[in-house]
Chains A and B, each alone.
Chain A
Amino acid sequence: MAALIIGYGLIPTKYATEFNIQHFAELPVQVGGRIKPLDSVARNTLLILSARQKVVTRDGQTLPPILWFMDLTMRPELADSYPIFKIEFPDDLGLPNLAQAGERYYSFNDLKPHFEALLTARSNINPEPRQRSAYEQQVADLNQGLSLYHRIMHSLHPVGGSDRLDRLSDEYQSYLTLATGKGMAELRKQQAGQEYDSKLLDSFIFFADDYLKLSQLAQLDVIPPPPPVAPMADWKNVGLELLDVMKGQALSPYVTGYATLTMAYRANDAVRFNQDLASLRQRFIADFPNELGRVRFEQLFNELQVFSVSMQLYVLIFLIVCISWLRWPQELGKAAYWILIAAFALHTFGLLARMYIQGRPPVTNLYSSAVFVGWGAVLLGVFIEKFYRNGIGAAMAALVGFSTLIIAHHLAMSGDTLEMMRAVLDSNFWLATHVIIITFGYSAMFLAGALALIFALMGLFKREFDKETARSLSGMVYGITCFAALFSLVGTILGGIWADQSWGRFWGWDPKENGALMIVVMAAIFLHARWGGICQERGLMALALCGNIVTAWSWFGTNLLGVGLHSYGFTDSGFLWMIGFAASQLFCIGLVSLPWKFWRSSFGQAKQLKAS
C-alpha cells in the first residue's frame, strides 16, 4: 500500500495538450533575489489566493497551477471567471449578493461589483496587523489578494483588452520607432517652443505614461539584463524595460518573446507557441548556462510534493504500528520500520532539495524549522526503534513527523517558503549551527513528550503494560531528554555567541532567547528531578509533557507576542492552536496523575498494591 502512495505522489504530471507546458513552466523569473521557474510563482500565488495548489473551474475542470497562470497572464478574460479567491466566511464581509451558499471560492468577476465597498472597508481597519479582528484580517487579505492578482496578470505585457493583446508585436514596433528617434525629437521641439507634430507627441506621451504605470504595476521581474550577466544584477519588469528604451537601450528580446507567446496562445496556435518558447528557452540557456539545472530541479521538486507524500506515509506507519500492538506484531512491526525508513528518506530528500535550491542551511524561517523538527524527531525515532524494536519509537516518530508537516503546510500558506533571509541572518557559522542544533533540541523535546504520552495511555488502558515495558519506556524518555538538554544548551549558547558577534551582547533577554532558556531549564529540572529521586515515573512523565508545552511556547508562542506593540497576539490564528495544544498537554498531565487504582495495566496494579 505504501508503494501505491509513493507511486501516486511522485509521478510528474503529464499535460494533455500540444502546447509545451513543461518548458513554459521552466521559464525563469527573478523573485526575492533568486532565479525561479514560473511554476513556483504560479504555485505560490495560487497558495496565497486559494490556500491550495489547484483551480476547479465552475464547469468542473481541474487546472494545475501553471495552466491557471498561463490563462491569467495571457487570456485574462477567461481567468477572471475562475473561482480562486478563497473567502471562508463570505457573509461576514457584509457585501450584498456576494455569498453563494456552500461556495468558498469566488472569481474576480464575482468580486468586481464590490470593489469600492472592499476598498472603503480596507481603509477602516486597524493598521496594526497583529491587532486586527478576524473580519478585518479577511478584508485585508482579500484586498491584498486582488492587488496581487492584478499585478501578476500584467507581468508579461501591458494592460489591455483583447484588441491590444492580439497586436502586441505591432504596438512594440511603433513604440520603438517613436522612442528611439522621432518621439524624443518632437518632445525637444515642444520644449524649445518650435513647431511639432502633436499627434506623434501625444502617442509618444501615451506610451511613456502607460509604460510608467506598468513599471510600477508589474509584479514579476521576467527580463534579465543583456549578456554578459552578473549574478547579482537586478532583473527588470516589462514596464521598466520598455521605459528604458527611451534612455537609448535596446529592447530586450524577452519582451518581444513574451509578446509573441501571448499572441500565439490567444490564437490557439500551438506550433508557433512552441517555436517562440523554444527560442526564449535557448536564450535563457545561453545567458545563464548554470541556472537551467537548478530551475528545472525546482520545478520538478514543486511537482513531486515530497512532504505531502511523507505526511501520508507517516499516517500509514502510525496505523500499522497501532494494529501491530493487537495482531501480527512481528510482520507489521518490520513493515512499519521499513516504511519509516522510506518516509524518512523522502523527508531527507525534501530537506536537501530545499537546501540545494536555496543555497542555504536547512533552517531559515518558521516553515523550514517545522520541517526540520519533524526530520529530527523521525531520525531519533528510527534509532529508538532500532534499539527497542517494540514499535513505540516508530509510532511516536510518525506522530511528531506528521504533526510538524501539517504545521509546515499551514505555514506555507503565506507564500514563498524559500524566501531570502535578512542581512542579520547572513550566512555565518555560529548562526547556521545554532539554529540547526536548537531545532534539533525542539525535536528531541517533542519526541520525549510524545513518549510520555504513550506511557500515560498505555499505562492507563493496556493490560499488558508491565514493569519491564514501563522501565524501558521511562529509560527512553530519560535518554531523549538528555539528548534534548545537551542540544538545547549547546544551541542556546551558540546563539549567545552569535549575538555577541553581531550585536555586542551575549544575552539580551529577548523573547526568543528567553524561550530557548526556558527549554534548557525545563530539561535541567527533569534531569535533576530524576537524579535526586524527587519524582518517580509518573512525575517524570508529567515533567516531559510540561516540556512539550514549554517547547511549543518557545517555538511559536514567542512569535505571537508583539513586543513593544502592546499585542499579545490574541487575534492571531496561531494563538488558538497554541492554547489548544497546551490544554491537550495539561489534560494528558491530568491523565498521568490519576491515582494508581485507575491504571488498568499490570504495572499500575503493582504500584497500587505497593501503595496500599
Chain B
Amino acid sequence: MAKKNTTSYIHLAAMCLAFSALTGCDSDQPVSYQIPKELRESKLPLPSSPAATTAPDMPSPAGMQLLPGMAEAAQAAGDLSYSAPASWIELPASGIRKATLQASDSNGSAELSVLVFPGDVGGTLANVNRWLGQIELPPITDAGLADISSPYTISHHAGIYVRLKGETQAILGGILPFHGSTWFFKFIGDRRTVLANETQLKAFLDSVALEDDAH
C-alpha cells in the first residue's frame, strides 16, 4: 500500500510540473518588434453584434426622403471626372455617392462628398437649409440666400457656391442643376480645416467635368 502511495505522489508531482511548463506564463514585459511598412489608415470600425444590425439597405442623407428610383437615377446620371488636390485623400465611391475625398490638418479634418439626385430635391433654399441644419445653424429665408451664396460655374454650367460658417464646423459647397438632376458638392468638417482648404476646394470645383450628352 505504501508503495502505491509513493507512486501516486510521483505521478501527481509529475503532472503538476508538466502542467506549469505547458502554460508558459506570458510575461507582461515591454517588447520591440518589426512590422512591414504601414500607412495610417482611416478609422477602424468598432464591432457591432450581428443580431443588432437591422439598418435598412437604402442610405438616406440627413433629412431627405429617398424615394425609390433615386438610386437608379444616380446610376443613370453621367460620369464625373475631376482632379483631386494634392494633400487630399480619395476614398471609394459607393451607391449614390459619386466621389468622396478627405482633407485633414493639425486642426482637424473635413470631407468632400459628391452626390446627384433627380429633379431639384426641393429647391435651392431647402437644400441650403438642410446643410445649415447639419452644422447646427438656424434656417434662413430667400432674402438671406444672397449673403451666403454666389453664382459659380461648374463644368461649364451655371451653379451656385455656398459658404456656411458655424461655431465649430463649416460647409463650403457647390450646387449644380444639370439637365434634370442636381449635383451636390459638399465640403463639411472642422471649421478651421474647411476654411483653410477653401482654395483647394475651388480648384477642385473648377476641375470638375460632368459627362454631357445634351450639348
Contact = CB atoms under 8 A, between A and B. Distances in A.
Direct contact of A and B (CB under 8 A): yes
B50 interface: yes
- Chain A interface helix/strand/loop/mixed: helix
A283 interface: no
A332 B50 CA distance: 56
Contacts of A212: 67-68
B180 A247 contact: no
Contacts of A423: 50
Contact of B180 (A191, A240, A243, A246): A191
B120 interface: yes
A182 interface: no
A240 B68 CA distance: 9
A212 B66 CA distance: 11
Contacts of A240: 68
Interface string B110-131: 0000000011100000000000
Nearest to B120: A191
Nearest to B180: A191
Interface residues of B, number: 10
Contact of A247 (B50, B51, B69): B69
Interface string A80-121: 000000000000000000000000000000000000000000
B173 to A, nearest CB: 22
B51 A192 contact: no
Contact of A244 (B51, B68, B180): B68
Contacts of A58: none
B105 interface: no
B72 interface: yes
A422 B68 contact: no
A440 to B, nearest CB: 27
Given A212-B67, A247-B69, A192 B50 contact: no
Nearest to B182: A191
A192 B72 contact: no
A247 to B, nearest CB: 6
Contacts of B72: 247
A139 B36 CA distance: 59
Interface size classification for chain A: 10 to 19
Given A422-B51, A423-B50, A188 B68 contact: no
A208 B65 CA distance: 13
B69 A188 contact: no
Contacts of A422: 50-51
Contacts of A244: 68
A505 to B, nearest CB: 16
Contacts of B68: 212, 240, 243-244, 246-247
B49 to A, nearest CB: 10
- Chain B interface helix/strand/loop/mixed: loop
Interface in A245-295: 246-247
Interface in A154-194: 187-188, 191-192
A187 B118 CA distance: 11
A191 B182 CA distance: 11
A244 B50 CA distance: 30
B7 to A, nearest CB: 26
Interface string A352-363: 000000000000
Nearest to B67: A212
Interface string B172-198: 000000001000000000000000000
Interface in B60-96: 67-69, 72
Interface in B31-58: 50-51
A247 B119 CA distance: 16
B107 to A, nearest CB: 38
Nearest to A211: B68
Nearest to B72: A247
Contacts of B119: 187, 191
Nearest to B179: A192
A395 B200 CA distance: 86
A188 B72 CA distance: 16
A102 to B, nearest CB: 42
Given A422-B51, A423-B50, A192 B69 contact: no
A247 B71 CA distance: 12
A422 B72 CA distance: 31
Contacts of A187: 119
B200 to A, nearest CB: 33
Contacts of B69: 246-247
Contacts of A191: 118-120, 180
Nearest to B51: A422
**Which of B50, B68, B72 is packed against the most chain A CB atoms within 10 Å?**
B68
A479 B118 CA distance: 75
**Which of B69, B72, B120 is packed against the most chain A CB atoms within 10 Å?**
B69
A423 to B, nearest CB: 7
A243 B68 CA distance: 8
A244 B67 CA distance: 11
B169 to A, nearest CB: 30
A586 B72 CA distance: 67
A246 B67 CA distance: 11
Contacts of B51: 422, 424
Contacts of B120: 191
Given A422-B51, A423-B50, A192 B180 contact: yes
Contacts of B67: 208, 212
Contacts of A243: 68
A519 B103 CA distance: 60
Given A191-B118, A247-B68, A424-B51, 10 more contacts: A187-B119, A188-B180, A191-B119, A191-B120, A191-B180, A212-B68, A246-B68, A246-B69, A422-B51, A423-B50
Interface of B: 50-51, 67-69, 72, 118-120, 180
Interface pairs A-B: 7 shortest CB-CB: A191-B180, A191-B119, A243-B68, A247-B69, A422-B51, A246-B69, A192-B180
21 contacts: A187-B119, A191-B118, A191-B119, A191-B120, A191-B180, A192-B180, A208-B67, A212-B67, A212-B68, A240-B68, A243-B68, A244-B68, A246-B68, A246-B69, A247-B68, A247-B69, A247-B72, A422-B50, A423-B50, A424-B50, A424-B51
Interface of A: 187-188, 191-192, 208, 212, 240, 243-244, 246-247, 422-424
